[in-house]
Amino acid sequence: MEEQHVYAAIGHAGFDRLAGAFYRQVPSDDVLGPMYPPHDLEAAQHRLRDFLIFRFGGPQTYVEQRGHPRLRIRHAPFAIGQTARDRWLQLMTRALDQAALPEEPRRILQSFFESTTTFLMNRPGA
Ligand code: HEM
């Protein structure tokens, strides 16, 4: 399966479950909790969901609302070192389990998250 076919395989509902399962864990997380806007978590959850939908072959809603993703620039305000990177991936891996996705789209998403979390590291020492 190619990346562009993941949306057809799991649909809006699959990405919605995934982003929901990820963000449910954020507020109580000692590393990530303090980094996210406490009063804007639902909107943040939708930004992640819509970005993933756009990235994996679905509708362009994210780009229409937010413009080009420019993820490295958008993450510049957040200190992402090894600890934050590993924790983000850990929460997302758990979210992938909870979202109960079919094996192939799950593997594609997992591999995307492993490389993108590394790509977004911007404070190597932190
Ligand atoms: C490496 C660890 C990461 C940390 C600590 C982190 C942290 C954050 C924080 C604090 C926000 C602000 C919440 C908001 O208002 O939207 C954010 C936004 C966002 N993050 Fe991450 N993030 C990480 C990795 C990722 C990855 C791997 C992706 C891609 C799948 C991603 C996609 C996004 C998107 C799409 C937004 C919203 C950007 C916007 O439109 O403003 N992040 N991230």
115 within domain boundaries: yes
pLDDT score recorded for residue 126: 73
Q: Which helix (H) or strand (E) holds 106?
A: helix 103-119
pLDDT score recorded for residue 85: 98
97 within domain boundaries: yes
30 within domain boundaries: yes
Q: Do 102 and 10 meet the contact criterion of CB atoms below 8 Å apart?
A: yes
pLDDT 10s digit of each residue in the chain, 126 long? Answer: 999 999 999 999 999 999 999 999 999 999 999 999 889 999 999 999 999 999 999 999 999 999 999 999 999 999 999 999 999 999 999 999 999 999 999 999 999 999 999 999 999 777
Start-to-end CA span in the chain (Å): 36
pLDDT score recorded for residue 57: 98
Q: Do 76 and 122 meet the contact criterion of CB atoms below 8 Å apart?
A: yes
Q: Do 120 and 80 meet the contact criterion of CB atoms below 8 Å apart?
A: yes
Domain span at residue 76? 3-119
CATH number at 45 reads 1.10.490.10
**6, 49, 75: residue to mutate for ligand 1 pocket, most atoms within 8 A of CB:** 75
83 within domain boundaries: yes
Whether 63 is in the pocket of ligand 1, judged by its Cβ within 6 Å, is: no
Count of structural domains within the chain: 1
